[in-house]
Amino acid sequence: MTGDQKSRLNAIDWPAYMLLPLFVLAALPFMSFPTWLTLTIAGAAMGMMLFLMASGLTLIFGLMDVITFAHGAFISLGAYLATGVFAALPGLAKTGGWPGALALLGAALTVAIVVTGLVGWLFEIVIIRRVYGSHLRQILITVGGLIVAQELIVVVWGANPIPIEKPAVLQGSVTIFGAAIEVYRLVAVVIGILVCAALQFLLSKTRLGLMVRAGVENIEMVEALGFRVKRLFVGVFVAGTALAGVGGVMWGVYQGLVTPAIGPEMMILVFIILIIGGMGSVGGAFIAAILVGLTTNYAGFLAPKLALGSNILLMVAILLWRPRGLFPLVKS
């Protein structure tokens, strides 16, 4: 091994990367293998849905230094749009088989991406653009925006919960190595991995991604290289809200019942993920989301009374170890 290869290996933050596999393995002695496998896959699936909701927010915070509590409203909007698409195409859900189910889910995701992205664009122009650089004003105005958005959702869709039925093939479970695993959770895992891979590809292999990663570190320097960061801000905000819409669709279909609070209710977990992962880090959010999903499941099984506070305890433990989260970003 050359000196350069050694220095590259030394540069990898092994403890942060090993935390997740060690955490998964540490739970195994406390339960049977099938139970462990069921809880692990279910936790990972929940983590993927949480990642979809959190990934947009971590991009928005990382690049734009904007804290937006209105993100929950975009999650709710995604879930409500899914109810509309599912209601409009009932045939695909009941008799379409796998192609029909995937087409239905794909249609819901496409509608959510387009609509939440457009609403996000308007939100950036009308509200966010005026509060760049002031966290206090961002919190105040986006909390206000969240309340208004929730009320608008009630105006459009009503205050009563709207049921959303999974396509027939996505209901039920399959047995793998003696563990019962819900089909929908497996689909959520696949979609989460696909989105994460697409984001990683975009961020690491494209010029746009390079600009975003550079902008997260030093916006001024990106401008001095000739790029218009303000346009990049709008693009990232739109992408962030579209990702919230994707998370909303997946979460809404999983829950089976959509309420105006479905998004805001998730924001505590979303912020925990951002803090654990390192504010602004997409990779960190991915690992943190799986950790949060697993912690919820393991704690729910092993110590149900602790389940509610388990993620807070996880966050406290990680912050005691890494005060800036697992994968903190360098800002200059």
> Is the Cβ of residue 191 or residue 288 nearer to another protein in the bound state?
288
Task: Give min distance, CB of 207 to another protein, in A.
Answer: 5
What is the β-pairing status of strands 173-176 and 179-182? Answer: antiparallel
Least separation, in Å, of the C-beta of 35 and another protein? 40
With 0-12 / 13-18 / 19 or more C-beta atoms within 10 angstroms meaning exposed / middle / buried, residue 237 is buried
Closer Cβ to another protein, 1 or 320, answer by number: 1
Name the β-bridge partners of 257: 163
Which of these, 267, 314, 258, lies nearest to 288 by C-alpha position?
314
CB of 194 to another protein, least distance (A): 24
What x-and-dash track marks residues 151-190 binding another protein by CB under 8 A?
----------------------------------------
Instruction: Tell me the site size for another protein, rule CB under 8 A.
Output: 25
How far, in Å, CA of 293 to CA of 50, rounded?
A: 8
CB of 6 to another protein, least distance (A): 12
Q: Which is nearer to another protein, 155 or 330 (CB)?
A: 330
- CB-nearer residue toward another protein: 69 or 286: 286
Nearest distance, CB of residue 219 and another protein, angstroms:
10
> Is the CB of 137 or the CB of 228 nearer to another protein?
228
Q: Using CB under 8 A, which of 1, 155, 320, 330 touches another protein? A: 330
Q: Minimum Å distance from CB 11 to another protein?
A: 5
Q: Which stretch binds another protein (CB under 8 A): 7-15, 25-33, 116-124, 307-315?
A: 7-15
Toward another protein, which CB reaches closer, 171 or 206? 206
Q: Which stretch binds another protein (CB under 8 A): 70-78, 79-87, 219-227, 269-277?
A: 219-227
Secondary structure of the chain as H, E, C letters: CCHHHHHHHHHCCHHHHHHHHHHHHHHHHHCCHHHHHHHHHHHHHHHHHHHHHHHHHHHHHHHHCCCCCCHHHHHHHHHHHHHHHHHHCHHHHHHCHHHHHHHHHHHHHHHHHHHHHHHHHHHHHHCHHHHCCCHHHHHHHHHHHHHHHHHHHHHHHCCCCEECCCCHHHCCEEEECCEEEEHHHHHHHHHHHHHHHHHHHHHHHCHHHHHHHHHHHCHHHHHHCCCCHHHHHHHHHHHHHHHHHHHHHHHHHHHCEECCCCCHHHHHHHHHHHHHHCCCCHHHHHHHHHHHHHHHHHHHHHCHHHHHHHHHHHHHHHHHHCCCCCCCCCCC
Quick note: the x/- pattern for another protein over 189-218, rule CB under 8 A, is: ------------------x--xx-xx-xxx
Based on the shown chain and the rule CB under 8 A, indicate whether residue 228 belongs to the binding site for another protein: yes
CB closer to another protein out of 100 and 215 = 215
Contact status: 1 vs another protein (CB under 8 A)? no
Q: Which is nearer to another protein, 116 or 281 (CB)?
A: 281
Pick one of 226, 304, 320, 323: the residue that binds another protein (CB under 8 A): 226
Residues forming the site for another protein (CB under 8 A): 4, 7-8, 11, 207, 210-211, 213-214, 216-218, 220-229, 329-330, 332
